[in-house]
Amino acid sequence: MLVEGSILDIDGPRPAYVLFRHGRVTDVGAPGTASTRGRARKIHGIVIPSPVNSHTHLGDAVSVREPPAGPVADLVGPPRGYKFQLLAGTSRIDKVAAMRAALARMVREGVAAALDFREEGVVGVEMLRTALRGVPLRGFIFGRPTRRPVDAGEVERVLEVADGIGLSSARDEEGPTRRSIARACRAAGKRFGLHASEAVREPTENYLDPRPDLLVHLTKATVDDLAAVRDEGVAVALCPRSNALFGRQADLRAMERLGLRTLLGTDNAMFHPPSIWSELQFAYTSSRLLDRPASAAFLARAALVEPWVWLGEPDAARVAPGTPIRPLIVRLPPEDPAYQVVTRTTEQVIVRPGPRPRRPPR
Ligand SMILES: [Zn+2]
pLDDT tens string 119-135: 999 999 999 999 999 99
> Do 161 and 129 contact (CB within 8 A), yes or no?
yes
Q: What is the mean pLDDT of the chain?
A: 95
pLDDT, residue 354, reads 66
User: How far, in Å, is the centroid of ligand 1 from the Cα of 278?
Assistant: 17
- Which parts of 151-275 fold into alpha helices (H)? 152-161, 175-188, 204-208, 223-232, 240-245, 252-258
Report the share of the chain in percent with pLDDT over 90: 89
Confidence tier at 361 by pLDDT (50, 70, 90): very low
User: How far, in Å, is the centroid of ligand 1 from the Cα of 153?
Assistant: 25
Confidence tier at 357 by pLDDT (50, 70, 90): low
Residue 326 has pLDDT above 80, yes or no: yes
pLDDT, residue 117, reads 98
Q: Is the dihedral of CA 127, 133, 135, 141 positive or negative?
A: positive
pLDDT tens string 38-64: 788 999 999 999 999 999 999 999 998
User: How far, in Å, is the centroid of ligand 1 from the Cα of 267?
Assistant: 5
pLDDT tens string 200-210: 999 999 999 99
CA 8, 49, 111, 294: dihedral to nearest 10 degrees? -30
User: How far, in Å, is the centroid of ligand 1 from the Cα of 144?
Assistant: 12
pLDDT, residue 205, reads 95
pLDDT tens string 237-271: 999 999 999 999 999 999 999 999 999 999 999 99
User: How far, in Å, is the centroid of ligand 1 from the Cα of 116?
Assistant: 8
User: How far, in Å, is the centroid of ligand 1 from the Cα of 3?
Assistant: 37
User: How far, in Å, is the centroid of ligand 1 from the Cα of 98?
Assistant: 18
User: How far, in Å, is the centroid of ligand 1 from the Cα of 168?
Assistant: 7
User: How far, in Å, is the centroid of ligand 1 from the Cα of 148?
Assistant: 20
pLDDT mean over 291-314: 98
Confidence tier at 362 by pLDDT (50, 70, 90): very low
Residue 285 has pLDDT above 50, yes or no: yes
Q: DSSP string spanning 236-271? A: EEE-HHHHHHTT----HHHHHHHT--EEE--EETTT
DSSP assigned state of 294: P
pLDDT, residue 358, reads 57
Confidence tier at 359 by pLDDT (50, 70, 90): low
Q: CB atoms < 10 A from the CB of 124, how many?
A: 24
pLDDT, residue 338, reads 98
Q: DSSP string spanning 15-59? A: EEEEEEETTEEEEEESTT----TT-S-EEEEEEEPPPEEEEEEGG
pLDDT tens string 66-100: 998 888 888 888 888 899 999 999 999 999 999 99
Give the separation between CA 230 and CA 142, rounded to whole angstroms. 22
pLDDT mean over 283-292: 95
